[in-house]
């Protein structure tokens, strides 16, 4: 599992919209993303990116190690998936 408050998201800080959080559930064996929740600015955009990874059966490490455009909300996925416990 990985959780992160939106106040850790650089773009959310720039937009002064830091309310909310993200949470992802990961299968320990396959490393696939089983579920994702986001309550915060541009949550639908984040959800779509994670949904594509889930549909493609990518391991969470694909999002953790990806290079995302800056400044975007999506670049927070690196930090979220780096927090997998």
**pLDDT value of position 33:** 98
Rounded CA separation 60/18 (Å): 24
**pLDDT value of position 68:** 94
Rounded CA separation 13/27 (Å): 31
**pLDDT value of position 76:** 96
- 1 is known as an active-site residue: no
Mean pLDDT of all residues in 79-85: 96
Q: Does domain 2-82 have CATH number 3.30.390.30?
A: yes
Query: What residues does each domain of the chain span?
Result: 2-82
Q: How confident is the model at residue 82 (pLDDT cuts 50, 70, 90)?
A: very high
**pLDDT value of position 31:** 98
- What's the pTM value of the predicted model, to 2 decimals? 0.91
Q: What share of the chain is helix, strand, coil (3-state, %, to 5)?
A: 40, 20, 40
- Give pLDDT tens digits for 10-61: 999 999 999 999 999 999 999 999 999 999 999 999 999 999 999 999 999 9
Rg (CA), the chain: 12
DSSP classification of residue 8: G
* Choice among 16, 29, 55, 70 that is catalytic: 70
């Amino acid at each position: 599992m990985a959780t992160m408050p939106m106040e850790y998201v650089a773009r959310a800080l720039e937009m002064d919209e830091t309310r909310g959080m993200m949470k992802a559930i990961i299968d320990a064996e396959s490393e696939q993303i089983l579920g994702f929740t986001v309550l915060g600015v541009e949550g639908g955009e984040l959800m779509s990116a994670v949904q594509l990874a889930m549909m493609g059966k990518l391991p969470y490490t694909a999002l953790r190690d990806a290079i995302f455009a800056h400044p975007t909300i999506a670049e927070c996925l690196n930090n979220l998936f780096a927090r997998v416990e």
